[in-house]
Amino acid sequence: MWILRLNMADRTYRLEEAPAAYTRLGGRGMTSTLVYDEVDPQCHPLGPNNKLVFAPGIVTGTTAPSSARISAGAKSPLTGGIKESNAGTSWAQHLAAMRIKALVVEGQPAEQGHYWLAYLTWDVPAARPKVEFFPADEYAGRDLYQVFPEVYKRFGAKVAVAACGLAAEHGYGNAGIAFNDRKDAPTRYSGRGGLGAVMASKGLKFIVSDNAGAPGVEVANKALFDQGRKKLAEAIREHAITKPQGGLNSYGTAVLINILNEAGGLPTRNFSSGRFEGAARIAGESIFEGNKQRLGKELYNHACSPGCIIQCSNTWHAADGSEIASCIEYESDWALGANLGIDSLDDIAEMVRLCNAYGLDTIETGATLGVAMQAGVVAFGDAKGAIGLIHEMGRGTPMGRILGGGTGLAGKALGVTRVPEVKGQGMPAYEPRAVKGIGITYATTTMGADHTAGYTIAPEILGVSGKLDALTPEGKAALSRAFQATTAFIDSTGHCLFIAFPILDIASGFEGMVEEVNGVLGTSWTGDDVPRLGGEILKKERAFNEAAGIGKAQDRMPEFMRYEPLPPHNQVFDVPDSALDSVFGEL
């Protein structure tokens, strides 16, 4: 197994055998460990001492279901702390097939403003990865939908691509890293935390991979791996949320719009209400029926990456049947819809397309635009105004740069007190005053406000692993802690987080996940080891953040949520600070 290092100061690369301490790591565990081990917590995120780390999951590149995930990690320009953000893409499988444990981008060109493309292939005679560097200025300053076809034409149809867009070139805290989807379009994102800006700060525009001739992932115990893979795949196909033509395959993640709206937990007009009167018009069911009407047939969803059997990625089509955008995730649908008072799927889809084109995180973009609307820059419900502001972000105008800096920065610049962020990162699509457990996750996760870090929505709203009262704070600190630790492990395996639904409800599915990992690594971990191993990752992340000046005092919700009751339940965020402090205190 290799650690591949790209030195952007002189455009050279170095291969190292992965140290023994790293052999059982993957995905988030690998990125966070390398950032913890090698990055100065006090460094400037866009300076020469930060490093950008990519790592495929432990089972990525195998036949494990829904496991083509890549983790990206660095010190975040948005939060100032450690960041891991992952995406589903064939690019992850390419690295795994070349037995690259981690790809580390380090150093910085002395002359800023020029960009490079790293071309990663397998050197068959030498039996190792190799890298060539090419100038990439011709791709800078342009829409990613324009440049991806050019890259594929140049390097061939079988390559996979990681890229950063205009938002990254501008240095935004809102800049993601784009990966190819199954149609070779730039729609799969490690969106959160500004990692695209870190990539651009290194002068690196693209990493193009071709795994032809690569040996593939080494599996220590194939029989055990196959046994686990079968168990997990059966659980995914059995569970109501993840089964074929079930909730996610039919309606995508946007099926949650109506569910959260009914629960009074759908943040509306910059978190001023928990219900949106236009929810039904933008929900997953409306996407399904709208496509059916416009295409003349039912359209079920597709996989974001090879090997995904959940297949929750949707596409929204125009009245003439042409594609506007893919994918209209729940988070994007909410951020650019209910949070802005916009109930037109055509407008939401256009904003998703623009975010993909410019390399913007849709969640941060929507949360920031909500703050801008609160400040009166444009009115709530003004879709044309919102689209115009996204264009300003792409062009890098003064207003665009303020908004590109993220929710926290925009709130300060625009003088707004209702700013839904934690550690500088905008909140996702779950109102913490109406769903107390997810609020604890937002407050305490090492990543800034991040629902994927500890998805307590599963029991609080969906009834997965047992239904809990979303409005009570009782017992929610322990719940969030358990979810955060388990999630850190899942993020390290390379599986999509949505396997959490079947493994929480179906014991054999959980067993299967652990057996897959043991089969690849040759370990003998049990289910009891999952939260322990996840907790070890969290401790490293926490230690990095504390050294960066981010500790318990930053594990807090915005003040307005403590005193503004949220309609319709008229709840405030009443979780005591002692409960928030206990999340990491008891790890």
What letter represents residue 272's amino acid?
S
For the chain, which residues make up each domain, given as ranges? Answer: 2-210, 249-390
Distance CA 406, CA 173 (A): 6
Pair of tokens at residue 527? 């289910």
What average pLDDT does this structure show over 21-33?
Answer: 97
The Cα–Cα gap between 430 and 261 comes to 10
Q: What is the pLDDT of residues 463-474, one digit of tens each?
A: 999 999 999 999
Query: What integer is the mean pLDDT of 566-575?
Result: 98
Residue-wise pLDDT for 277-314, tens only, equals 999 999 999 999 999 999 999 999 999 999 999 999 99
pLDDT of residue 111: 86
Pairing mode, strands 52-56 and 100-106? antiparallel
* pLDDT-above-90 percentage for the chain: 98
pLDDT bracket for residue 371 (50, 70, 90): very high
Per-residue pLDDT tens for 201-257?
999 999 999 999 999 999 999 999 999 999 999 999 999 999 998 889 999 999 999
Handedness of CA 522, 524, 525, 526 (dihedral sign): positive
Answer for the pair 356, 384: CB distance below 8 angstroms, yes or no.
no
Helix and strand numbers, DSSP H then E, in the chain:
24, 16
Instruction: Give the per-residue pLDDT at 587.
Output: 84
pLDDT interval class at 386 (50, 70, 90): very high
Q: Residue 112 pLDDT > 90, yes or no?
A: no
- pLDDT tens for 52-86 read 999 999 999 999 999 999 999 999 999 999 999 99
Q: Which residues contact 254 (CB under 8 A, 6 or more apart)?
A: 282, 283, 284, 287, 314, 328, 329, 330, 333
Q: What is the CB neighbour count within 10 angstroms for residue 390?
A: 26
Cα 502 to Cα 61, 465, 505, distances in angstroms = 22, 9, 5
E strand or H helix at 17: strand 12-17
pLDDT tens digits along 448-468: 999 999 999 999 999 999 999
| Cα atoms in the Cβ-side hemisphere of radius 13 Å centred on 393 | 36
The CATH label, of 3.90.850.10, 3.40.630.40, 1.10.569.10, 2.60.410.10, for the domain at 249-390 is 1.10.569.10
In whole angstroms, give the CA distance from residue 215 to residue 195.
30
d(CA 69, CA 475): 32
Average pLDDT over residues 87-115: 96
Q: What is 2-210's CATH number, 3.60.9.10, 3.65.10.10, 2.60.120.10, 3.40.50.720?
A: 3.60.9.10
Torsional sign, CA 371, 374, 376, 381: positive
Mean pLDDT for all residues in the chain: 97
376: left (phi over 0), alpha (psi -120 to 50) or beta: left
Amino acid at 20: A
pTM of the model: 0.98
Reported confidence tier of residue 331, pLDDT bands at 50, 70, 90: very high
Tell whether the model's pLDDT for residue 401 goes beyond 90.
Answer: yes
Question: What pLDDT was estimated at residue 246?
Answer: 83
